[in-house]
Amino acid sequence: MQILSLGGKTLRFMSLRKVAMGFSTLLILASFASIFIKGLNFGLDFTGGTAVEVGFSQPADLKKVRTALAENGFADASVQLFGSSQEILVRLAPRGSEVKAEVIGNQVITALKQADDSVVMRRIEFVGPSVGEDLKEQGGLAMLTALICILIYVAFRFEWRFAVGAVGALLHDVIITVGLFSVLGLEFDLTILAAILAVIGYSLNDTIVVSDRIRENFRKVRIDDTIEIIDMSLTQTLNRTLVTSITTILVLIALFVWGGQTIHGFATALLFGVFIGTYSSVYVASSVAISMGVSKEDLIPEVVEKEGADLDALP
């Protein structure tokens, strides 16, 4: 049986729901495996410590830089290029509250002058370890609170099965995005956490639009097949979903390419999050609702009979 949406043929999205759910399960398991085995490369926002950005007049030799730091008592320093081959970022673990960041910065500059006399300090940042732990805890609580509020809102706005599907899709997006940072070893700091919260909002917006259309079609279309109605609703919202996603992706590509190293991780998280959020709003949220047995009767308002009314007497 071929069904038609208002704009033509309806795409059979839900015919691939089992394949999509299997694919999502594999991604989630891979993300958990990487997070537990490899962990996350937490930035100084969460771990605490000192970050020293320095510049050179010519491309820096990272091997010489690491050797010079190790010879001067900074063997645990993390060294990486920052923005260009002439700038590097040196990250150091906390060395006691009595040691000021400026002192550590001067020591780093003195050590690096052994590798290149042209070295110049750009900036110094310091975050205490207790502050980093507090930020990590508060960031996790912020994400958990957002998910709980979304669950309550969607349950009241639509139906509890759709609420579970929406939160399941958001958890799906968060886990896989965090897993990407674990697999690639990218630095995870407060800007990345902010990007993940933005991904939650973006994905939720898509899911709410789809859920609203599904509810509308459940009430208007004289079809009893839940899967057909969901396919019709997804097809009707497809243009809106694609236009929103593509315009957002174009902006994020510009930020990723020309935004500089400072927001590179932020743009990476959002760019990947938009892809995975669009996918989850189409497949994950609806598939979870179907697997939990959502039906047309769940979204059609009950007719309240007035006491004393004789329904048989109605024409």
Distance CA 166, CA 162 (A): 6
222 with 84, same domain? no
Number of domains comprising the chain: 2
pLDDT at 4 over 60: no
Q: Give the phi and the psi of residue 110 in degrees, each rounded to 5.
A: -60, -40
For residues 160 and 153, what is the distance between their CA atoms, to the nearest angstrom? 10
The pTM for the full model equals: 0.74
| 236, part of any domain | yes
pLDDT tens track for 116-174:
777 888 888 776 666 667 777 777 787 788 778 877 877 777 777 877 888 888 889 99
Residues 293 and 144 in one domain: yes
From 8-22, 221-235, 293-307, the region with the lowest mean pLDDT: 293-307
Give yes or no: residues 201 and 279 share one domain.
yes
Mean pLDDT for the stretch of residues 214-238:
83
Q: 88, 107, 127: which is the final residue of a domain?
A: 127
Digit-coded pLDDT (tens) for 16-72: 888 989 999 999 999 999 999 988 888 777 777 778 888 888 887 778 888 888 888
User: What's the residue count for the chain?
Assistant: 315
Half-sphere exposure of 73 (CA within 13 A, CB side): 6
**Which residues constitute the domain of residue 266?**
13-41+132-298
Both 223 and 277 in one domain: the answer is: yes
Final residue in a domain of this structure, among 127, 148, 181: 127
- Could you tell me the CATH number of the domain that includes residue 186? 1.20.1640.10
Together in a domain, 112 and 141: no
Please indicate, yes or no, whether residues 218 and 141 belong to a single structural domain of this protein. yes
Does residue 64 share a domain with residue 22?
no
Of 264, 95, 76, the closest CA to residue 181 belongs to 264
- The tens digit of pLDDT for each residue in 78-119 reads 777 777 777 888 878 776 655 566 777 778 888 888 777 778
- Per the domain annotation, does 307 fall within a domain? no
Domain's final residue, options 80, 101, 127: 127
233-258: pLDDT as tens digits = 888 888 888 888 899 899 889 888 88
In a domain, 76, yes or no: yes
Residue 262's pLDDT band (cuts 50, 70, 90)? low
Q: Is residue 157 part of a domain?
A: yes
Say what the pLDDT of residue 5 is. 42
- Amino acid (one-letter) located at 14: M
- Do residues 154 and 60 share a domain? no
CATH code for position 113: 3.30.70.100
Q: What is the pLDDT of residue 1?
A: 36
Please report whether residue 114 resides in a domain: yes
For residues 307 and 202, the model is more confident at: 202
Kindly give the pairing relationship between strand 187-188 and strand 41-42: parallel
Same domain, 114 and 197: no
Q: Same domain, yes or no, for 94 and 204?
A: no
- 270, pLDDT greater than 70: yes
**Residue 28 shares a structural domain with residue 137:** yes
Same domain, 62 and 186: no
